Structure 1
Amino acid sequence: MNLPNMATAPDAGFQEGSAFIGAVWEFHSETGKSTPKLDGTSAAEDPYQYKPDTMCRAGGGGLGCQGLQCPPKAPGGPEGIPVVWKKAPKAITNPDWTEYRAISGPTCLYDPQPENVLANIAARILTDFRQLPVNPGSLEAQPFPHTLKGGPTNFYATTGEQGFDVTILGQAVHLTATPANYTYAFGDGTNLGPTPAAGYSIPEAEWLNNETRTSHTYTNTGNYQATLTTSFTGTYSVNNGPPLPINGTLDITTPAKTIQVWKTEKALVADTCQENPNSWGCPG
């Protein structure tokens, strides 16, 4: 049985076969789009965002789509998808849709150009990927904050794979950001990378004699501003579909970390610092 696919009402709510989104906007469940009323009373923009629930459940109440058929509108055309629609305020970024109940009964979703949905998402996915709040981690150094001229300083990155669930063009999209390459800028004009080596922490007893793949030796004393740029690759999955690669990367640079490079000097002294605080090399 086909249910009504458009409705208006002065308040939000649920009624079988209709979507209530306000007195000045009309929601079309076959396309997932809202349009303003033609009486001049509509706001400049619909304040809500919408998501089709393909599981056909509303608020956990077990509202199902069993028996709902969505035949093609035209011979040889695409079939519709049984869904119920949910709405949330646009002011909420990436809402938890499980907290919102349905605004329509089971209905058929027909995309005006269904063959273009994935293509349209693919065309913009890199832009959306680069706007994700990916945590770049941090650049760590051993020893820190002081290290020695002529000795190895071990650098390493702290970050990992991160996942995000977003809505793009009305579709549920899962994106994954994975660190792939690292570029270490040591602050003295030398760089390492891009390299897949994230580095790792080593025991303090090995700081002065263990040179790792991501170690650096400073040849002059001074304060140096070291940074790390991590290049993330990504994949995306539309409506629980297979993961697809994103053609491009997200490059994030950490805030600078000050590395203080000191030098050592040796001398013979007669007293310890406890015996003579003013002795050579003592803090006093």
Structure 2
Amino acid sequence: MIAVVNRTAFVGALLSVATALPVLLPGANTSPNPGTGFTDRSIAVGAEFTIDAVTGIPSTKLGNEPATTEDPYQYKPDTFCRAGGGGLGCQGLECPPTTPGGEQGTPVIWKRAPKAIENPDWTDYRGITGPVCLYGAEPENVLADIAARILTDFRQLPINPGTLEAQPFPHTLKGAPTNFYTSTTAQTFDVTILGQAVHLTATPTSYTYTYGDGTALGPTPTTGYPIPQTEWLTTQTRTSHSYTETGNYPATATTNFTGTYSVNNGPPLPINGTLNLTTSPITIHVWKTERALVADTCQQNPNSWGCPGTEPK
């Protein structure tokens, strides 16, 4: 028969990843809006993203995917309905104070227009039905102030980075593929910023696997997946890793989150910046195997080579 002996040697290595993140630079269009009688103070959000045709969620460019495109639209709250004209249907909307003694809100209808057109004709944003309430003396200023700070607020959210899983775990074999995968999902948050109700969504878009032995994979859009136990140590997945030396290795996964936000049920706007969160490390114990022919089983001869408590030869 063949007996197998497992031996360990402690080796530790950590890999730190530092990522530079962009800074939010919101723009504003101050051209007059024809036909409404007030100054256009819309917000042009310049994040780069693509829109998923099914989910409608913006996402960044990953791996070898096609180049990202900029949102072609700019958005603004149309406050013209305050004057009681235009047939915009705001007259029946009440915007009571959200706090005791606070100010009443302003009924608005969200508009959008192409960024590329100078002095565009603004159209209703079809993603929202009817007017909504914005709070503050000048809603346009409030939106610009939120846009200027939204990345900081986004990075302070209690976003769950998920967990890193390994198969097999906690022990694996030197030279054999160890399967890694992550578990994290899109997460939503409702907060108050400058007196406005803001809905934020954090979406995982890419992952970096740090295996603890000085090697890493990513960023990659692949989360990995669990495989049947019968395939452990034999199946190579896109996120698998084979350790070349025995030892104990702290492995982690860093998830890159992109985000969107909407103000008082307004259109979802992309957050110009990302957030990287790292899972708690899991320790992988990498063993090696030795093979030898023996005459007896451990039940027949507890002192046989390869049996627990015996020294390898």
Equivalences for residues 42-191 of structure 1 within 5 A = 71-72=82-83, 82-87=94-99, 103=100, 107=104, 109=106, 111-191=136-216
Match in the other structure for 2:13: none
Quote the Cα distance in structure 2 between the aligned partners of 1:111 and 1:123: 16
**Match of 1:90?**
none
180 and 107 in structure 1: CA distance in 2 versus 1, 3 angstrom threshold: closer
Give the Cα separation in 2 of the matches to 1:200 and 1:86: 45
Pick closer, same or farther for the CA change 1:245–1:106 going to 2, 3 Å. closer
Deviation readout 1:85-115 (Å, 9 max, x if unpaired): 244xxxxxxxxxxxxxxx4699565732222
In the alignment, residue 257 of structure 1 is paired with which amino acid? I
Q: 1:232 aligns with which of 229, 244, 257?
A: 257
Secondary structure of the equivalent of 2:290? coil
Tell me which amino acid in the other structure corresponds to 1:268: L
- Distance (Å, rounded) in 1 between the aligned partners of 2:264 and 2:192: 10
Cα distance in 2 for partners of 1:223, 1:282 equals 23
1:227-270 Cα distance to aligned partner (Å, 9 max, x none): 11110011111111111111111101112211110001111111
Give the secondary-structure state (helix, strand or coil) at the position aligned to 2:145. helix
User: In the superposition, relative to structure 1, how do residues 167 and 149 fare at CA in structure 2: closer, same or farther (>3 Å)?
Assistant: same
- The alpha carbon displacement at 1:116 in A equals 1.2
2:295 to 252, 266, 270: 270
**Aligned partner of 1:147: which letter?**
T
Which letter maps to 1:227?
T
Pair 1:207 & 2:219 matched: no
Structure 2 distance, partners of 1:105, 1:259, is 56
Letter in structure 2 aligned against 1:239: N
C-alpha offsets along residues 105-164 of structure 1, whole Å, 9 cap, x if unaligned?
Answer: 995657322221211111111000000000001111111101100100101111111111
1:256 aligned to 261, 264, 281, which one? 281
Report the TM-score when normalising by structure 2. Answer: 0.58
Range with bigger deviation, 198-207 or 269-278: 269-278
Q: Deviations over 1:183-226 (max 9, x none)?
A: 11111111100110110000010112110000001011011111
- Aligned-pair Cα RMSD in Å: 2.3
Cα separation, partners in 2 of 1:208 and 1:172, compared to 1, 3 Å: same
Aligned residues: 195
Q: What is the letter of the counterpart of residue 265 of structure 1?
A: E
- TM-score of the superposed pair, with normalisation by structure 1: 0.64
Q: In structure 2, do the counterparts of structure 1 residues 175 and 219 end up closer, same or farther at CA, with 3 Å as the change threshold?
A: same
Letter in 2 for 1:256: P
The structural deviation recorded for 1:276 is 2.0
